[in-house]
Amino acid sequence: MSAVIETQNLTKRYHDKLAVNALNLTVQEGEIFGFLGPNGAGKTTTILMLLGLTEATSGRASVCGFDPTLESLEVKRRVGYLPENPGFYEDMSAGENLLYMARLNRIPDDEARRRTSEVLDQVGLSEDGRRLVREYSRGMKQRLGIAEVLIKNPQAVILDEPTLGIDPDGAIRILELIKDLNRKRNLTVMLSSHQLHQVQEICSRVGIIVKGRLIVQGQMDELGRAILKERQWNFLLETAGAADGLESDLRAIPGIDEIEKRSHGLFLRCTRDVRPDLMSLLARRNLLLLQLRSEDPTLEEIYLKYFREA
Same domain, 20 and 166: yes
Residues 80, 81, 82, 88, CA torsion sign: negative
Same domain, 103 and 195: yes
pLDDT of residue 86: 82
Residue 227: pLDDT over 70: no
Residue 310 lies in a domain: no
Residue 235: pLDDT over 80: yes
pLDDT of residue 18: 92
**CA–CA distances in Å: residue 216 to residues 59, 209, 266:** 19, 8, 29
Same domain, 169 and 252: no
pLDDT of residue 306: 74
- What are the pLDDT digits (tens) for 57-69? 999 999 999 999 9
pLDDT > 70 fraction of the chain, expressed in percent and rounded = 95
- What are the pLDDT digits (tens) for 148-165? 998 988 999 999 888 887
Integer Cα distance of 131 and 263 in angstroms: 43
pLDDT of residue 46: 94
- What are the pLDDT digits (tens) for 194-210? 788 788 888 888 998 98
Residue 218: pLDDT over 80: yes
Mean pLDDT across the stretch 212-234? Answer: 74
165, 131 in Cβ contact below 8 A?
no
Q: What is the DSSP letter of 298?
A: P
Helix axes 109-122, 138-150, angle to 10 degrees: 140
Q: What is the dihedral of CA 84, 89, 90, 96, to 10 degrees?
A: -110
Integer Cα distance of 310 and 306 in angstroms: 6
Contacts of 53 (CB under 8 A, 6+ apart): 72
Stretch among 140-144, 216-220, 244-248 having the lowest mean pLDDT: 216-220
Residue 304: pLDDT over 70: yes
Q: 178-182 — which CB contacts under 8 Å span 24+ positions?
A: 178/32, 178/146, 178/202, 179/32, 181/122, 181/146, 181/150, 182/30, 182/31, 182/32
pLDDT of residue 226: 60
Last residue of a domain, one of 223, 248, 278: 223
Last residue of a domain, one of 161, 194, 223: 223
How many folded domains does the chain comprise?
Answer: 2
Q: Which domain holds residue 50?
A: 3-223
120, 98 in Cβ contact below 8 A?
yes
- What are the pLDDT digits (tens) for 70-125? 999 999 999 999 888 888 899 999 999 999 999 988 899 899 999 999 999 988 88
pLDDT of residue 21: 93
